[in-house]
Amino acid sequence: MYKNFLFIYLISSIISASEISISISEDLVNDYLKIIGNHEIPKGPKGDQAIWSIQDPHVNFEYGSADFLTTITFKKGKTNIKKNVKKKIFVEYSFDNNQVSLLIEDPIVKMERKGAVYGKIDLSTFYQSGLKFHGPKPKEKSLKLKTSKGKIKVDMNIKNSIIYFEKNVVRVAIDLEYR
């Protein structure tokens, strides 16, 4: 009786649509950003260099959104500019290579004062490469089950991918359909 119930439950859950997901926690991303750390970058010709500092990079995951936050300073001669930066993060899932990427939206930061732009820096050159993760796509495209009537093969069809922004976590899911 128990085996029959378990078999019926397993088959009915396989036949109905299902979801597989991965979760990327805010803590995991912030740990990575701490390892990468702060940056001090000289830019420009020798003798006339500006010093850019990127300090305290971190992310904040909330319901419906994700943000990249940092403080950037620009020093050149007597010019000193400090800017608190908040950039949106968007999530991209590539089905073909099963990769989830967290991308900083509009990663270029301009340092300006009174309408004059003193320089630009691209945050993605420092932080983008490590913000890639394996996706939720299963390695197998079908399941083989042994039943009392013989072996059956159930194909998995991926209907779509779904990205959820939740408190302290980004979740990437794929919606499966079994045939």
Tell me the C-alpha distance between 106 and 135, whole Å.
24
Tens of pLDDT, residues 109-146: 999 888 888 889 999 998 877 789 998 887 777 777 88
CA–CA separation, 63 and 39 (whole Å)? 30
% of the chain residues with pLDDT over 90: 46
List the domains of the chain with CATH numbers: 17-45+52-178 (3.15.10)
* pLDDT 10s digits, 65-79: 999 999 999 998 888
pTM: 0.80
pLDDT at 11 over 60: no
Strand residues in 33-98 grouped as ranges (E): 39-43, 50-62, 65-76, 79-94
pLDDT digits (tens, 9 = 90+) for 38-61: 999 998 888 888 999 999 999 999
Token couple for 92:
């991209």
